[in-house]
Every structure is written in structure tokens, then in C-alpha cells.
């Protein structure tokens, strides 16, 4: 054996060989086959013919290379073989990973290098498969600047010398097929940086499963086994999620919706949520459930907004297939499922993406671009094609592999602006000297364009808190391409108004009116989200002024106003029954409050608002068009608002009236566009909502008296702190 060959074999035992396929396995040397194997604990190694079971060669230990065995074979042609190891009285056989060829093809390499592989998760990560006739798992990871990458796990005693991967050309992807490894195996990647320094072990960026925290390894999952039952929903989804359809979203944190006190206060599993949460949301009349992030994350207190495993449904509630069964249950109940998606930043945990191969791979190297000061997290480098590919493929992955119906994209404003939450001198301007993050804008445009092109009937929703133009405008017209945008301005203004003592509301009247000046500039969702019931803000009920029943009356009137206002609806869990305390992610909602009439009344109201909303096209068909809304009355002194909602041709118009004072207003004349009886479809003061029950006896007839620019009018009584809905009983207006 020549000196160079012996040196290469000796390096194997130190774990510093970055090209093990050039040494291990079968190789031709001087017209003969040689075999090399490595196992640090073996005393004897034999090559066994996989077909006959006969020993083809006994390999000898290599001097100065502990655990390395080498030998020559009499055969001249390669053949399928297994390795037989002996250690004392113990003997075992395995297939040799170094006898298998690559799995990734040239087209994969080209698309990965270009950053345009829309099925990237099908190639990177861990995939159970049969390769060259042998069953096992293929591992692949992007680490272009690493000297050596290994797969480690219980199956090789977490020894980074034993499953060193093959580097594929200029893409920076490393891969290896490990025979006999299947679903359920825990694993990580062990890397040496370009200087040969050992890095902290990394979870798989494309891992489809993870260990239960605080453990941090990825877990092999076979995504090819689940049998979907939601073909009917998937076929009809495009019709259900159009902009002119009703959308009432129940926002949920799975870890605290319900817990089981008798079992250590544990949260429900995906399987239990599929029964209890789905049936509850359906009974309450919601059209969608939105989950706070379910991508794997290390810290419970982040609520999922600092994810480590973007491709893994969190194991806190079950496996990937159990999550899929939850999605199936949503669709069986005709509920859409939206998940919060976090492409804006990622945490600094050592097993995560940060300095993945010893360099700033996923993040910017300059902390002025790559570090978020508020959240102490890394910021993605959107200008890097491979990073864009990683994120866009992830968006498509959730929709294709898990049948998710929509993505609500978190913290869009932090992505749009380079100076977001940064002081002077703490940020880097764009190439034009401006504050806009041009790379992030291009990323979001590309993501939306590709998601909508790849998947039928899905939607994306932006949580965007600034006045950035065209968030929900099409990409081809210069917009960001989202389907919807959260209306944070509406939320802030109206909550500020409703928390005022009613005697002072007339001085803040414009906060209710202002939202209508821009209500049709975007496709808006009206959000009363988890962010409004944390960090000392109290619950929705806490926001209401007054004492006792007045607080509930204020909340009911406000919810009525919200459901009557243009825009889709979103309500965080617990708010639908007036949770009394601020949300705590470590404990269950206070379901016992439903034993009291006031809390049960709010729940009944939200259910009926959802039912009315879904049954009245005037309340949703023209949500994003100004012709669907008309002011009829805006009286600051009396804090009374009245407006008309219209749908498409043939839809019955709906009159909505809010009285935000604790004073009954009688004989109020309101203009209406048509004659006939206007039925009182909903009254937030009704007895079934724990109100006083006063109202308009089910409806009022119009009079031929013009008012507020309308040819007819009705005279109504407005109970205190109440919102009323009146619908014309004859269609065709």
C-alpha cells in the first residue's frame, strides 16, 4: 500500500476525511478490487456476498488507523455485499453505505444550484426509500462551506466518523444513503467548518419530525404513508376561499386551548383537537381555524414564533401524520385551516440554522442586516437564491404535503424595512440609499406568485402593520401579491375608541370613521388576535369600560360592529366567550366561565354573528369594494353609527346600527334604499346574549319618508350599548 493511500486511510479514523467515498467501499487499484471499511469498535471485518452469503474477503486492520480495515479481493467486478463485524463473541451484519451510488440527479443539482427547486423538500432532508434494491433512508443537507458533514444518531453511537456524507459538485449539498435506517430514528448533522473546527451538532433544516423538547434532534418521518380523505374539500376549496366568500377565522394556540388537569395539565394531541376543537369551531359557525405556528420550535414561551424546524409539525401534539389527520378532520367539517408562517427570522439556538456550516449561511453576516434587536434572532438573507428557495419551498410544502389552506405570514413589516426597530447607524440602506428591503420584497412577491401558481384555491395573509402600498395587490401590478392583509389600523383605532368611557366617546368619534377612508385599499381581515390579549393588555373584556353587565354589553356591541364592518373576521380563542383574564400559554382557557350567563351570552352572540354573516351575502360579497358600503348616520354627540351593506345583484341589503352609549335612543329615523319590512336579524342586547331584551319586536316597516339620501326610512329604537342588524325581507334590491 502506497504512502498516500495509507495516509488517507489513517485520516478516516480521525474523522477529518471530507471525501470518504473516495476511500471506503470497493475501489479498483491496479486492475484489482480493494475494500475498505471503518468501525471503531470492530475486531474483525469480513465482506459477505449479498447473494450467496459467502465470505468474499477478510479485511485486515490498517496500522496507525484505529477502526479502519482494508483488503484485496480476488474478484475484478463490483458486486452487492454486506459487512460482517465481529467484536469478541458478538457478530452482526450491515449493508455498507459506501457501496451505494448517489440519489440526487443532475437536474436536482442544477435546480438546487439555481435556487429554483420548488419540490426541494423531496430531495433534501431524510427520506425513507429503497435505493439500488436496499431499504433505508437517504439524507441530504446544504452546507457549502463545510469541510466534512456526517449523519449521527443512536444508529452509529452519535459518532461523526461513521456516516460521513458525499459532497455533490458545486451545489454545496452533501448526501448519503444509510441502509436499514427507517422512520422514528433520531439524527443530527455533525459538521467541520472550512478550517476543520467541530461545530455544534445541527438539526436538519428539512427534518419532517423532531424529538420532544428539550431534546433537539430531528426524527425521520415517512411522508408517503398517509391516505388523505379530503378530496371533496380540495376540489371545492377554490370556491370557498374566494374574496367574495365569508371568512370568519378562529385563531388558536394548540397548547392552551384546552388542557387535561387530571393528566398533569397536558395539552391536547392533534387527535384530540381533531375531535374537540374542530367540532367546537364548526358549532360556533367559524369558517376557518388559524393556528399559531406549528413548525417545530424549542422554547414554549415563543408560542412558535421562533421556529427551528420549518418542515416539522411540532411533536408537542403528535406526529406529522397525526397533524395530517387533524387537517383532514377540519376539511371533513368544511373548515379551512390557516397556519401562521414565520419566514422573517429564526432563533440563535445552537442546533438551528445560525452559522450552519460555520459561516452566515441562512442569515446575513453583518448584524446590521442579519440580527433582529427586538427578538434577538437572526434575519434571513433574502438576497441569496438558496435561502429564498428554502423558504418558498417550505410554503409550498405545507400546502402540498399537509393540505394547509392558507398561510398567515408573520411580521411582514419587519421584513419590508431595513430600519425596522433600528436606530440611526444601526442599519444598512438599500442600493438606492432607501430603507426598503428590496430583497425581502422580491422574495415575498416570488413566494406569493409561486404559491398561487402551484396550489389551487389557497390563500396567503400578511400581518403588516404599516401603510406599505399594495400588500394584497397582484405582483404583476407591482403589489406584494398576498391574498389578504390584516387591518392593524382598524384594530388599534377601534379598540382605542371602545375602551373610552362612553361619556368621552364623542371626542374620539373619528376613530370609528377613519378606517372607512382606506377600507377598500386592500383585501382586509379585521384581527382581534392573540397580540391583543398578552403583555399586560388584559383580555378583550378587560378593555371594556364600566362594571359588571356594562362591560359585557360594550363587548357585545363592539363584536356586532366588527361583524357588520367591511372585512373578513378573526377572533382569538377565549375572546368568543369573554375570557376574563389575559391569555396564558401555559394554562387552559377558562371554560368554566360558560357556567355563567354573561359569558355564555357572549359565546351565543359570536355563534349567531357567524351564522348571520355566512347567510347574508351583503355582509361579505363586496368586502373589498366601496359600492358594498354606505354611511347612513354618524352622530358624534350620541355615539351612534348606521351604515348600509350591499352584496352583488339580488342580495338583500343589510342595515347595521351601533349605539355606543348606555342610553336608549328611541324614534331614530334611518334612511333605507327600499320599501318593505326590515327584519331585525340580530340584536346584541337580546336576552339570549344576557342583554335586557329590548329592541324592535323583530322588525319595522319602512315609511315613504326620505332620509340620509335614501328614498325611504325606518324608525327604530336603539337599546343602550347595542348593535342591531336589519335586513330587507324582499330580495332584488
Q: From CA 135, how far away is CA 177, in angstroms rounded?
A: 9
Q: From CA 19, how far away is CA 163, in angstroms rounded?
A: 11
Q: From CA 251, how far away is CA 136, in angstroms rounded?
A: 40
Residue whose C-alpha is closest to residue 394's, from 323, 454, 324? 454
Q: How many CB atoms lie within 10 A of CB 107?
A: 9
Active-site residue, 595 included: no
φ, ψ for residue 171, nearest 5 deg = -75, -20
CA-to-CA separations, 142 to 32, 138, 172, in angstroms, rounded: 35, 14, 6
Q: From CA 525, how far away is CA 241, in angstroms rounded?
A: 13
Report whether 37 contacts 73 (CB < 8 A).
Answer: no
Residue whose C-alpha is closest to residue 499's, from 464, 532, 534? 532
Report whether 644 contacts 634 (CB < 8 A).
Answer: no
* DSSP β-ladder status, 459-462 and 406-409: parallel
Given the residues 96, 175, 322, 463, select the one marked as catalytic: 463
Q: Please tell me whether residue 173 adopts helix, strand or coil conformation.
A: strand
Given the residues 290, 322, 401, 410, select the one marked as catalytic: 410
Report whether 370 contacts 381 (CB < 8 A).
Answer: yes
Longest dimension (CA), the chain: 108
β strands within 609-698, DSSP E = 629-635, 640-645, 654-659, 665-672, 677-683
Report whether 174 contacts 338 (CB < 8 A).
Answer: no
CA quadruple 152, 158, 162, 164: dihedral, nearest 10: 30
φ, ψ for residue 328, nearest 5 deg = -55, -40
DSSP string computed for 343-361: -S-B---TTSSTTTTSS-S
Active-site residue, 410 included: yes
Q: Which residues are catalytic?
A: 410, 463
Amino acid at each position: 500500500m502506497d504512502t498516500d493511500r495509507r495516509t488517507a486511510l489513517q485520516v478516516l479514523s480521525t474523522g477529518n476525511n471530507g471525501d470518504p467515498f473516495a476511500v471506503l467501499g470497493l475501489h479498483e487499484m491496479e486492475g484489482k478490487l480493494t475494500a475498505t471499511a471503518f468501525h471503531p469498535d470492530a475486531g474483525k471485518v469480513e465482506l459477505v456476498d449479498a447473494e450467496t452469503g459467502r465470505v468474499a474477503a477478510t479485511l485486515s486492520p490498517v496500522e496507525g488507523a484505529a477502526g479502519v480495515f482494508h483488503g484485496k479481493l480476488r474478484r475484478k467486478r463490483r458486486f452487492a455485499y454486506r459487512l460482517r463485524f465481529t467484536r469478541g463473541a458478538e457478530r452482526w451484519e450491515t449493508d455498507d453505505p459506501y457501496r451505494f451510488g448517489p440519489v440526487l440527479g443532475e437536474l436536482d443539482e442544477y435546480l438546487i444550484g439555481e435556487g429554483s427547486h420548488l419540490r426541494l423538500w423531496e430531495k433534501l432532508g431524510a427520506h425513507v426509500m429503497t435505493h439500488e434494491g436496499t431499504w433505508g433512508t437517504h439524507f441530504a443537507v446544504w452546507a457549502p462551506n463545510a469541510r466534512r458533514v456526517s449523519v449521527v444518531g443512536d444508529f452509529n453511537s452519535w459518532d461523526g466518523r461513521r456516516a460521513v456524507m458525499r459532497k455533490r459538485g458545486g451545489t454545496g449539498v452533501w448526501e448519503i444513503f444509510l441502509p436499514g435506517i427507517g422512520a422514528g430514528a433520531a439524527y443530527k448533522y455533525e459538521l467541520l467548518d472550512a478550517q476543520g473546527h467541530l461545530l455544534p451538532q445541527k438539526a436538519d433544516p428539512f427534518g419532517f419530525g423532531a424529538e420532544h423538547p428539550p431534546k433537539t434532534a430531528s426524527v425521520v418521518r415517512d411522508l408517503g404513508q398517509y391516505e388523505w380523505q379530503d378530496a371533496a374539500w380540495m376540489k371545492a376549496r377554490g370556491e370557498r376561499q374566494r374574496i367574495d366568500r365569508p371568512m370568519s377565522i378562529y385563531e388558536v394556540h394548540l397548547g392552551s386551548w384546552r388542557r387535561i388537569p387530571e393528566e398533569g395539565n397536558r395539552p391536547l394531541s392533534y387527535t384530540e383537537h381533531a375531535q374537540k376543537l374542530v367540532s367546537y369551531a364548526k358549532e360556533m359557525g367559524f369558517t376557518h381555524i388559524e393556528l399559531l405556528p406549528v413548525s417545530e420550535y424549542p422554547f414554549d414561551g415563543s408560542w412558535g414564533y421562533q421556529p427551528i424546524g420549518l418542515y416539522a409539525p411540532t411533536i408537542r401534539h403528535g406526529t406529522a401524520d397525526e397533524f395530517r389527520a387533524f387537517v383532514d378532520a377540519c376539511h371533513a367539517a368544511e373548515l379551512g385551516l390557516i397556519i401562521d408562517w414565520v419566514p422573517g427570522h429564526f432563533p440563535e439556538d445552537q442546533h438551528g440554522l445560525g452559522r450552519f456550516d460555520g459561516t452566515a449561511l441562512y442569515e446575513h453576516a453583518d448584524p446590521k442586516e442579519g440580527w433582529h434587536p427586538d427578538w434577538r434572532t437572526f434575519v434571513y438573507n433574502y438576497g441569496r437564491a438558496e435561502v429564498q428557495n428554502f423558504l418558498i419551498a417550505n410554503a409550498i410544502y405545507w400546502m402540498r404535503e399537509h393540505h394547509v389552506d392558507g398561510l398567515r405570514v408573520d411580521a411582514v413589516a419587519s421584513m419590508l424595512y431595513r430600519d425596522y426597530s433600528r436606530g440611526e447607524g444601526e442599519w444598512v440602506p438599500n442600493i438606492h440609499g432607501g430603507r426598503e428591503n428590496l430583497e425581502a420584497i422580491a422574495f415575498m412577491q416570488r413566494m406569493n406568485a409561486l404559491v398561487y401558481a402551484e396550489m389551487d384555491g389557497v390563500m396567503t395573509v400578511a400581518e403588516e402593520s404599516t401603510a406599505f402600498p399594495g400588500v394584497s395587490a397582484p405582483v404583476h401590478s407591482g403589489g406584494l401579491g398576498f391574498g389578504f392583509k390584516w387591518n392593524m389600523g382598524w384594530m388599534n383605532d377601534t379598540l382605542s375608541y371602545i375602551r373610552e368611557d362612553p361619556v368621552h366617546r364623542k371626542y374620539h368619534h373619528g376613530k370609528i370613521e377613519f378606517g372607512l377612508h382606506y377600507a377598500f385599499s386592500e383585501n382586509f381581515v379585521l384581527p382581534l388576535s392573540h397580540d391583543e390579549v398578552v403583555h399586560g393588555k388584559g383580555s378583550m373584556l378587560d378593555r371594556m369600560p364600566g362594571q359588571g353587565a356594562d362591560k359585557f354589553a360594550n363587548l357585545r356591541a363592539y363584536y356586532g360592529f366588527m361583524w357588520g364592518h367591511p372585512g373578513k373576521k378573526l377572533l382569538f380563542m377565549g375572546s368568543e366567550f369573554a375570557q376574563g383574564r389575559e391569555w396564558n400559554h401555559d394554562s387552559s382557557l377558562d371554560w368554566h366561565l360558560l357556567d355563567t350567563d354573561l359569558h355564555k351570552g357572549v359565546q351565543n352572540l359570536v355563534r349567531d354573528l357567524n351564522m348571520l354573516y355566512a347567510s347574508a351575502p351583503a355582509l361579505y360579497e363586496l368586502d373589498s369594494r366601496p359600492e358594498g358600503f354606505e354611511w347612513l348616520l354618524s352622530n358624534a354627540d350620541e355615539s351612534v353609527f348606521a351604515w348600509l351593506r350591499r352584496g352583488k345583484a339580488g342580495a338583500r341589503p343589510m342595515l347595521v346600527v351601533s349605539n355606543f352609549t348606555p342610553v336608549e335612543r328611541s324614534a331614530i329615523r334611518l334612511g333605507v334604499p327600499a320599501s318593505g319590512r326590515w327584519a331585525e336579524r340580530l340584536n346584541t342586547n337580546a336576552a339570549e346574549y344576557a342583554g335586557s331584551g329590548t329592541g324592535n319586536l323583530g322588525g319595522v316597516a319602512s315609511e315613504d319618508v326620505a332620509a340620509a339620501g335614501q328614498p325611504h326610512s325606518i324608525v327604530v329604537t336603539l337599546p343602550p350599548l347595542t348593535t342591531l342588524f336589519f335586513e330587507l325581507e324582499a330580495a332584488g334590491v
